[in-house]
Amino acid sequence: MEDKTVGFAVCGSFCTHAKAMEALEQVKARFARVIPIVSEVVADTDTRFGRAHDLMREMERICDCRVIADVKAAEPIGPKKLLDLLIIAPCTGNTLGKLAAGVTDTSVTMAAKAHLRNGRPLVIAPSTNDGLAASAASIGALLPRKYIYFVPFGQDDFEHKPTSLVADFSQVADAAQAALEGRQLQPVLLRN
C-alpha cells in the first residue's frame, strides 16, 4: 500500500455510481488514505440508481472518513495541502465545463481548484452523454493542461447514444498511479 492521501470525488452521473464505488474500493486498496468528496447534487439527489444517503454512507465505510459535501469543507484542501492526488470519478459534462472555464461553485470544483494550486495531479474519469458534442470542447481544453490526467475513456453505446463518452472505471487506480508518476495512462481513447 502506497503512503499517499487521495481525494475521490463523485459527480452526478448516477448510472455510473456502482462502477465508481468499485473503483473507490480499488483506490482504497492501493493508497493509505482516501478522502471521499461528493457534489451537492450527489449529496441531495435520490435516483432510480440509489439513494444519496446510502451512497455517502458506502463511501464513508470504504474510506473510514467523513464525506466532504460542500464548498466550505472542500476549500481547505488547498491551503492545508491535504491531498497528493485528486480523482473525479465520474466527472460529468457539467463539471468538465466548469473545470475548463475555471468555475468554482461546487464542492468538487472547489476541491479541484484548491488541489491544483499545489501543483499536484488531478485524474478525471469522464462520464457524459455529450462528450462528443457540447462537452468535447471542455475535454479538449483539459487534455493538454499541466497536472490534469484522464482515465482512459471511449464511447459506451455508439448506436443509441452516439455522443456519449464514459471512462473505463476498472482503470481508475492505474490512472491514479500513473498520474503520481507524472504519466498519462495510455491509450487515452479506447476502442469499443
Residue 176 within a domain: no
Q: What is the CATH number of the domain that holds 21?
A: 3.40.50.1950
Residue 189 within a domain: no
Domain carrying residue 41: 2-83+91-149
Residue 143 within a domain: yes
Residue 106 within a domain: yes
Residue 37 within a domain: yes
Residue indicated by cell numbers 466532504: 68
Q: How far, in Å, CA of 120 to CA of 114, rounded?
A: 10
Q: How many domains does the chain have?
A: 1
- Residue 50 grid coordinates: 440509489
Residue 60 within a domain: yes
Residue 184 within a domain: no
Catalogue the E-assigned strands of 40-145.
85-91, 122-128
In order along its 192 residues, the chain shows pLDDT tens digits of: 899 999 999 999 999 999 999 999 999 999 999 999 999 999 999 999 999 999 999 999 999 999 999 999 999 999 999 999 999 999 999 999 999 999 999 999 999 999 999 999 999 999 999 999 999 999 999 999 999 999 999 998 889 999 999 999 999 999 999 999 999 999 999 986
Residue 17 within a domain: yes
Give the burial class of 131: count Cβ atoms within 10 A of its Cβ; 0-12 exposed, 13-18 middle, 19 or more buried: buried
Number of helices followed by number of strands (H, E) in the chain: 8, 7
Give which of 65, 89, 66, 68 is closest to 78, Cα–Cα.
68
